[in-house]
């Protein structure tokens, strides 16, 4: 029994990644209205009541907007780090989540969600205690890592060994530098706690490439400072410079901004 993964939404307008193993169906983030996420799930044939957990990466609204609504509607357990929960409680970001649905993620400590195991790992981003997640089942590993300011050793180590990867490829550096964003926002995005460029995504991918890595979704693409073909082209160019054939050795996919992407399945 392996893992299937399918991005439902990806980008600054909302993020939600669906993953399943056997009878366990989970979401990593639910950053759109409950209605939009339910529509995305229903487009792939998954009713809301089947979801057994929502794993939250961090408190930015493009990752949490639907968390409270879906959790209350279907009594879905929510997982987030301690400081993320403290932020929620201080700001009321996800409304009231009952005690028995509230789970605290300790980065680096594995926990079970039905037939899946998951681990959160620290990522550098301008949030309270942001994490990426690796999911494990049947000897397979799928990792979701977006909203990363820079690739730290810990990020790189946690990406290693993945069969499926959702990796941020947020912006093209030249487009961002020459674009119309105010300088303060450009500095935030390019900073070590901002977002990952296409170049950095390609570089880390070349570093962690291994025979079992079969599917890479480039995600959280900027609408303003990136283009899907440019992101894929830049990443593939870097892979080729490192003697990796992006057509044969793995499949590079783009996570769609507004709706479900193709599915990746490793058995």
Nearer to Zn ion, 68 or 219 (CB): 219
Tell me how far, at minimum, the Cβ of 99 lies from Zn ion, in Å.
27
Can you give the binding site for Zn ion, defined by CB under 5 A?
60, 62, 147
Cα separation, 233 vs 211, whole angstroms: 21
Nearer to Zn ion, 147 or 256 (CB): 147
Nearer to Zn ion, 6 or 60 (CB): 60
Nearer to Zn ion, 38 or 147 (CB): 147
Tell me how far, at minimum, the Cβ of 98 lies from Zn ion, in Å.
26
Tell me how far, at minimum, the Cβ of 88 lies from Zn ion, in Å.
15
Cα separation, 133 vs 137, whole angstroms: 13
> Measured over all CA atoms, what is the biggest interatomic distance in the chain, rounded to whole angstroms?
51
Tell me how far, at minimum, the Cβ of 228 lies from Zn ion, in Å.
17
Cα separation, 19 vs 3, whole angstroms: 7
Nearer to Zn ion, 60 or 257 (CB): 60
Tell me how far, at minimum, the Cβ of 36 lies from Zn ion, in Å.
15
Identify any residues that bridge with 203 across adjacent strands, giving them in sequence order. Answer: none
Nearer to Zn ion, 52 or 146 (CB): 146
How many other β-carbons are positioned within 10 Å of the β-carbon of residue 9? 27
Question: Are the beta carbons of 247 and 37 closer than 8 angstroms?
Answer: no
- Give Cα 118 to chain centroid, integer Å: 13
Question: Are the beta carbons of 189 and 200 closer than 8 angstroms?
Answer: no
Cα separation, 41 vs 266, whole angstroms: 20
Order across the sheet with 264-266: list the strands. Answer: 102-105, 78-81, 51-55, 24-28, 16-21, 3-9, 264-266
Residue whose C-beta lies closest to Zn ion: 60
CA dihedral 86, 89, 95, 99 (to 10 degrees): 70
Tell me how far, at minimum, the Cβ of 29 lies from Zn ion, in Å.
8
Instruction: Report helix angle 198-208 to 228-241, nearest 10.
Output: 40
Nearer to Zn ion, 25 or 60 (CB): 60
Cα separation, 131 vs 91, whole angstroms: 20
Rg (the chain; Cα; Å): 17
Tell me how far, at minimum, the Cβ of 127 lies from Zn ion, in Å.
6
Tell me how far, at minimum, the Cβ of 12 lies from Zn ion, in Å.
6
Nearer to Zn ion, 62 or 172 (CB): 62
């Amino acid at each position: 029994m392996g893992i299937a993964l399918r991005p439902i939404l990806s980008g600054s307008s909302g993020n939600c990644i669906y993953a399943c193993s056997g009878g366990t169906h989970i979401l990593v983030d639910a950053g759109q209205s409950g209605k939009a996420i339910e529509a995305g799930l229903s487009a792939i044939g998954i009713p809301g009541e089947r979801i057994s957990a929502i794993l939250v990466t961090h408190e930015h609204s493009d990752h949490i907007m639907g968390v409270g609504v879906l959790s209350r509607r279907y009594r879905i357990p929510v997982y987030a780090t301690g400081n993320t929960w403290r932020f929620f409680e201080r700001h009321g970001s996800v409304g009231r989540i009952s005690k028995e649905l509230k789970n605290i993620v300790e980065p680096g400590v594995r926990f079970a969600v039905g037939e899946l195991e998951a681990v959160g790992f620290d990522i550098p981003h301008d949030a309270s205690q942001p994490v990426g997640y690796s999911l494990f089942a049947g000897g397979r590993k799928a990792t979701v890592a977006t909203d990363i300011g820079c690739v730290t050793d810990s990020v790189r180590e946690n990406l290693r060994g993945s069969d499926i990867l959702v990796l941020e490829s947020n912006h093209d550096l030249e487009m961002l530098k020459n674009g119309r964003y105010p300088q303060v926002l450009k500095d935030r995005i390019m900073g070590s706690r901002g977002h990952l460029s296409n170049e950095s995504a390609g570089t880390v991918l070349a570093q962690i490439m291994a025979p079992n890595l079969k599917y890479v979704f480039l995600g959280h693409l900027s609408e303003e400072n990136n283009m899907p073909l440019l992101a894929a082209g830049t990443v593939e160019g870097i892979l080729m410079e490192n003697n990796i054939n992006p057509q044969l050795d793995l499949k590079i996919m783009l996570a769609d901004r507004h709706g479900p992407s193709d599915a990746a399945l490793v058995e």
